Structure formats: structure tokens, C-alpha cells
Structure 1
Amino acid sequence: MVVRTGAQRLAEDRGLVPDGRLGLITNFTGVLPDLTPTSVALRAAGLPLTALFGPEHGLRGTAQAGASEGEGVDPDTGLPVFDTYLRQGRELDELFSGVDVLLFDIQDIGTRFYTYVWTMYDCQQAAARLGMPFVVLDRPNPLGGVRVEGPLLQPGFESFVGRAPIPLRHGLTVGELARQLGAATVVPMDGWTRDSAGTGMPTGMPTGLPWVPPSPNMPTPDTALVYPGTGLFEGTNLSEGRGTTRPFETIGAPYVDDRLVPALSACGLPGVIFRRTWFEPVFSKYAGQAVSGVQLHVVDRDAFEPVRTALVMLRVLNELYPDDFGMLPSLDRLWGSDSLRKALEAGDDPLDLLPAATTPAGWVRPDVLLYEGLYEGMAR
């Protein structure tokens, strides 16, 4: 069954949102199943859309990580475009002075340190300060809604890659997450269930929706699947594959040699096999240098555990290359505490940091009915 997103439902029924001037927080992933931009569809449906607000990477997605496109005019609708990236407090509130209702329609990938949910959170907080309705047009979690992995973010480690205590792989849709984080109205999807991520994912969203790469370094659903784990390599001196055609599936550094793949293969990690590879990033770490590394090949997406896999990789790298392997300050922000860095520094097994239960204490279980029955047809 093809899922009907919240955006599609709103384009067909304008009564799903409050009256007033609408501002839409969106980007190039905000599209209907036929790839019509949500902004265009809402205007065609007669909704009073008056402004667009872009996140990291910008409305069109031309900016790399850590950048945005700035402000301007959207050529598709003629609407003004405002840049929310890294704006908070009064500066963010002032952006919304010309609207009465805020809508959010951006594709998330189900990982805590992917910044779109924190754009949502910051804008949600601004709406609360302004007494303005905040409405999420819900979209699928491409990792599905059954699995949760990794610990919660700890107090004192909040940043734009994690503002609130949620796991690395949170198992929720953006609508569910918005309800978890604060006051929000959700236009739910039709036809989505918690087990909607399946074997169809490599050729597109398993929901029948087209896959639109959510950012320049998230080209395929395969990338999204490994990202909750291998995204941690951004906090090390290894290349996480930025500047290659397989970012986050390819990890390497000049000091990696032919010992790595046999050592990883001997660990018996479920759902994944490893291949030695060589690559030359065109930007980011080791740009223009030929480096050696490993490519992850997920062979069973249901068995694969991205966070566990990445922790084993970090442990093995630390053991094989103690004089070369290094960690960056950003690792603490990505992990959500300093426990991973300290474990690796001490030579401890980072797998001991994973919650003993499938779902960390203090977090909602995604396999039970959540949020006043937002998705009553979910799998159990």
C-alpha cells in the first residue's frame, strides 16, 4: 500500500490545519508522491501559504554540511525564503513575525544527530513562545518504527546534533517525535505501520514513496540504514566517506592496512559483511589523498544493527592502530555523552555502553501504542 503523507492529505483537505497565514518549514524533500513540492501543492489547493523557512543545506539542498543557502525568493512559488539554520531565541522568533501557523514538512532519517529534527524542535519552541500553532505534516521513518538503538543523550551534551534525551536510533516518525518533545498538532499519514521498512528499501522507500536524498551526503536508503552507527566516525580521524559516492558506507584513513577487514569479519556481526577498499575523497577529511579502508555491505537489513556494528569497528580500530587512531571533540556530541570516548581511551569494550534492554530506560517503546493512537495500525 502506498502511504499518503501528511502533506498529501493536507493538499487534499485544507481543513486539517488552523486558519491563518501559513509558514512552511521545508526543503527539497518536502514533496508529494508525484514529486510536486509541498509548497506548490498547498498553494494550488488554495491554502494561504505566505513564507518558506529552510534548514541546514537550504531549501534546494545545494549547501554542504554545516552550511545553508541564506534567504531569497522561491522560484516555484514566488514566496520569500528565510533561513532558520543555527538561529534560536529572539532571532528565530522574529523570522516568524509574518505568519500565524507554522507547518513542518521535511524528511527525517530516524537518527538523533541528523539535524532536521532539531530544526523542527527549535521552531516548535519558537511557536510555543509566540503562542502559535505548530503542525507537523508527518512522513515515514525510513528505518521503520520498531527498532531503537543506543543510549539517550545525557544532560550537559546538548547541541544542534542533539537537543533532548533521545536514543541514537529513535524509532519514531517526525510527528511522533514532535509530540514527544513538546506541543504539536500532527497531520498523520494513511497506510503507515511501524514495520514499514522492509526489503524494498534499496530501490526506494518501502512505503511506495520515492526516495529523495535528504542531504548531499545521504544519497540512498542504504546510507540512511548505516548512518546511526557510522555517523559516529565524524568524531574520529577516519574519513566517514564524505567526498565519495558511498558516504558513511565507506570508512578509511591513510594508516588502515590489510588487517582491518579480517579482524572485523572475525567479530561475527549480524547482517553485514566487510570489503577492503581504497578511495580518494574529493573534499572533507583526506581530500585528494588515496586512503585505505572498508566498505560495509548490509546483507540482511533486519538483522543488521548499525550502532553495535560501529562500536565494534571503533574498538577494533583502536586495538589495531593505537598510535594512529584518534578522536575529535565532536564525538562526545554525536554519542550524547563522554562515555564512548572515555571507554576507548581506557581500552574498554564500548559494547558495554549499550543499554541492557532493547529500549533505553526513560524512552518510549515504539512497539506499543503511542501518542493517543496516532498510528493505531502499527505492527507489534
Structure 2
Amino acid sequence: MIKRLLKSTFLFFLIGILSCGNTNKQSEIQTEEVAVEKQEQPEIGEIITGANLTEKYLPLLKNKKVGIVGNQTSVIKTENRKFTHLVDSLLQLEINIKKVFAPEHGFRGTADAGEVVKNGLDTKTGLPVISLYGDQKKPSAESLKNIDIMVFDIQDVGARFYTYISSLHYIMEACAENNIPLLILDRPNPNGYYIDGPILELENQSFVGMHPVPVVHGMTIGEYAKMINGEKWLKNGIQCELKIIVMSNYNHNRSYSLPIKPSPNLPNDRSINLYPSLCFFEGTNVNAGRGTNDQFQVFGSPFLNKEYYSYSYTPEPMDGAKYPKHSGKICYGENLTNSDTLDQLNLEWLIKAYQNTSDKSEFFIPFFTNLAGTKKLQEKIEKGMSEKEIKATWASDLEKFKTIRSKYLIYQ
């Protein structure tokens, strides 16, 4: 069914429907936003991801040698509401895919956070898989030989330290250096309805934070790519030729439930909503639920005061968390599985954990600065500042960011 559907839409759009796209010129590099006809009520109707708008991008891939940047979330929804992988669908349509490029967690999304992903072959398709996580986070010129166009289709969660936007940066840079256009199949940002957190200071750049944006940036991958280009964040200010397949029926205020977990330790909507707040614990001696079935929905540590925290759990090795923090030890903390949905960062959990740990000197580790993008957040917590006081210190920076962000928005 999916093959017949895709072929019919492909033939239809060969006639010339690409003219419905619109272009937005930024400097000397063109960004083409290929969109459906604008709707008066975008909040009505099912959100249709870029990957499902096959009629918009199949003509761009025909007779081309294609590279795919994807993982387990790179899927097309079929008529029976199931999913086929983008790579499998394009191969069925005889699109000439030469290579797959895999980000953190690998092409099939099974590797631990931080685990080196090696080059190899995809067992299902036999395609070469080039790792973007390990020693080489940027595709080499050699790996891009004989590639005419790259396709980026990965579900993001809208947090600066979620590394898929860092992979996007390096893909754009490599494409720009090798004169290869990048086609982005846009997807919703499940945390796209708010903006919060400190702006990253450039001296604290790392793979978990490459750009001067807040922790929660409120942009889709397509919008974020436009910002990377427009702000000239790529090496030497080069820019990447972008073609963005714009979603239908999406706006930043719409909720979106991810049909496939974006990484092993974000299993559901609750974890994805809590992730921007609880990920700070990854830079402390507190476990954020890895090694449990409630990843990023609970937190705890053997050093937290069990008189203050009544909830406890014991992390154990499991798929996606082979070596969880405090493995086999009782951790005291908090269960947030039934907490309210957040529309801002919550710092109270972090602040109270610091106040109630028996090991303050070892609470923060250097990685915390990488996650926060600044040393100031740790300093403010150690000084005893409240959440309200801390957030007031970055309020003006957020307003400046929102002004910059507005130039690159595709959706309202």
C-alpha cells in the first residue's frame, strides 16, 4: 500500500506542482521552503510531517545519489496508521540511496547515551552506515564522495543539549564545504511552545551545546537550520544550501505526542517534557532515572537526605543504560511520573537536591557547565539563590534571543 501511494504522488508531482514552494533568500545562499498551501486554521487537522509529504521531495531525489541522515524516528506514516522507515520506503521507490549517516544512539537507536557508534552495514538493507557519534562527528569529504543530495530526517526534542542539533551543524558544514544541498524533512518540536534557560556562552561550547541559544529554544529542526545559516555559525561563516519540507497543520502551540521514542532513555511524552529540566542532573552525582523504566521521570541519589525524600529506587543495568549512575545502590529522590506538564524549566528539583545532599563538594561535576552552557548557574545555586532570582538574571537575554529567533520561524 505504501509503495503504491508514494508512486502515485510521485508521478503526480512530476507534472510540476513544485511551483507551490516559496523561497526565502538569506545572503548569497538560498533556502527553499517547500510548503503546502497556507491554511487559515493551522491548528485544525492532523499534523503531517515533512517525511509524509512525499510528493514535495521525491522529485528532488529522482536520478540523484542520496545520503540519508536518520535514525529509528525517520519514518513515514502509512494509510493503516503504521510506519515504514524512510530508507526502506525510498529504496522501494528506487531512489538511489548510497549511504546512511547515524547520529548518537545509532541508526536503529539502540546505543547508550555517549556510547561510541561505529561505522558498519545496516543489517536490514546492507547500506553502509557512517557514524556521526564517536571520533568523527562531521562527515569527511571522502564519505560524501558521489553524494548529490543529503536528506536530514531526525526527531528532535527541542533542548540545546540533545545532540541531534549538533549533528545537524556538522552535516550542514560538510555539505556547504562540498557543495551538496541539504534537504530537511521537518518534524514537530514537542517542547516547541516555550523558551527558557541560560544562553550558552561560547567559551563553554561542546557537542552538548554548540550555539548561543537557551536550553529550550522553541524551534523545529528546519527553523534551527535556518538560524545556523542566517547567524553564520558554520566554520568561516559558510552557508549550506537548504531545502526544507514544511509540515502541514503544525504551529508551536500544538501539542505533539511522539509515535516513536527519540532515544533509548526518552520512552514517553512525560520523559520528553521533563527532559530539559532533569537533564541538568546528568552533570551532578544524582541519577535521573537511567537504569529504571522511568527514565527522566524520577531522580535520586544515595547522598540525598532520605528524611526529606520519601521515594527510593535502585538503578540496574538495562538496554540503553548499561552502566547507570549508582547502579545497584538505593537512591533517594522524587517520582515525577504524575507531575504536571511543564511550560518552563523547573530548577526547584535541582536546587532542593543540592540543598539536601550530604556530599555538596561532589554534587556538581565539570559536565554540568557543558549542559548549562555557563558556570553562572552552578555558582548561583551554590550561593543559595532561588529559582525566581536565577531566572530573572537571564530574562533580558531571552528577549534578545526571541527577536533573533523570529527571523527564522516557519511556523507561528
Percentage of pairs with the same residue: 30
Match of 1:268 in 2: none
Q: Specify every segment of 5 or more residues in structure 2 that has no aligned partner in the other structure, as ranges.
A: 1-44, 230-239, 318-322
Match of 1:320 in 2: 356
- The amino acid of 1:326's aligned partner reads F
Match of 1:76 in 2: 124
CA distance in 1, matches of 2:139, 2:53: 32
Q: TM-score when scaled to structure 2? A: 0.77
Is the contact between residue 298 and residue 337 of structure 2 (CA under 8 Å) also seen in structure 1?
Answer: no
- SS at 1:186 equivalent: strand
> Which 10-residue stretch deviates more, 45-54 or 318-327?
318-327
- SS at 1:126 equivalent: helix
Q: 1:107 to 1:127 in 2, by over 3 A?
A: same
Match of 1:233 in 2: 281
Is the contact between residue 11 and residue 41 of structure 1 (CA under 8 Å) also seen in structure 2?
Answer: no
- SS at 1:167 equivalent: coil
Question: Are 1:31 and 2:75 an aligned pair?
Answer: yes
1:249, distance to aligned residue in structure 2 (A): 1.2
Is the contact between residue 187 and residue 220 of structure 2 (CA under 8 Å) also seen in structure 1?
Answer: yes
Q: Specify every segment of 5 or more residues in structure 1 that has no aligned partner in the other structure, as ranges.
A: 206-210, 262-274
Match of 1:278 among 307, 313, 333: 313
**1:33-60 residue CA offsets vs partner (Å, 9 max, x unmatched):** 2320001112223322211111111111
1:148, distance to aligned residue in structure 2 (A): 0.6
Q: TM-score when scaled to structure 1? A: 0.83
1:370, distance to aligned residue in structure 2 (A): 4.9
1:154, distance to aligned residue in structure 2 (A): 0.8
Deviating 4+ runs (over 6 angstroms): none
> Which 10-residue stretch deviates more, 67-76 or 334-343?
67-76
CA distance in 2, matches of 1:108, 1:9: 18
- The amino acid of 2:315's aligned partner reads E
Q: 1:358 to 1:48 in 2, by over 3 A?
A: farther
Question: Are 1:254 and 2:294 an aligned pair?
Answer: no
Match of 2:226 in 1: 179
Q: 1:92 to 1:259 in 2, by over 3 A?
A: farther
**1:240-266 residue CA offsets vs partner (Å, 9 max, x unmatched):** 1111111111111112234435xxxxx
CA distance in 2, matches of 1:101, 1:23: 6
- SS at 1:122 equivalent: helix
Match of 1:329 among 366, 390, 394: 366
CA RMSD of aligned residues (A): 2.5
The 5 A counterparts of 1:85-96 are 85-86=133-134, 92-96=140-144
Match of 1:265 in 2: none
Is the contact between residue 153 and residue 167 of structure 1 (CA under 8 Å) also seen in structure 2?
Answer: yes
1:236, distance to aligned residue in structure 2 (A): 0.4
Is the contact between residue 194 and residue 343 of structure 2 (CA under 8 Å) also seen in structure 1?
Answer: no
Is the contact between residue 63 and residue 69 of structure 1 (CA under 8 Å) also seen in structure 2?
Answer: yes
Match of 2:211 in 1: 164
CA distance in 2, matches of 1:188, 1:87: 33
Is the contact between residue 73 and residue 79 of structure 1 (CA under 8 Å) also seen in structure 2?
Answer: yes
CA distance in 1, matches of 2:56, 2:385: 55
Match of 1:196 in 2: 254
**1:191-231 residue CA offsets vs partner (Å, 9 max, x unmatched):** 2121121xxx6xx44xxxxx211111111111110000100
Match of 1:149 in 2: 196
- The amino acid of 1:195's aligned partner reads N
- SS at 2:378 equivalent: helix
**1:119-159 residue CA offsets vs partner (Å, 9 max, x unmatched):** 1111111111111111111011112x321111211110110
Q: 1:91 to 1:220 in 2, by over 3 A?
A: closer
Q: 1:4 to 1:291 in 2, by over 3 A?
A: same
- The amino acid of 1:329's aligned partner reads P
- SS at 1:118 equivalent: helix
Is the contact between residue 148 and residue 358 of structure 1 (CA under 8 Å) also seen in structure 2?
Answer: no
Is the contact between residue 141 and residue 174 of structure 2 (CA under 8 Å) also seen in structure 1?
Answer: yes
Match of 1:112 in 2: 160
- SS at 1:360 equivalent: helix
> Which 10-residue stretch deviates more, 68-77 or 93-102?
68-77
1:327, distance to aligned residue in structure 2 (A): 0.4
Is the contact between residue 88 and residue 122 of structure 1 (CA under 8 Å) also seen in structure 2?
Answer: no
How many residues end up aligned between the 2 structures?
Answer: 346
- SS at 1:230 equivalent: helix
Is the contact between residue 312 and residue 351 of structure 1 (CA under 8 Å) also seen in structure 2?
Answer: no
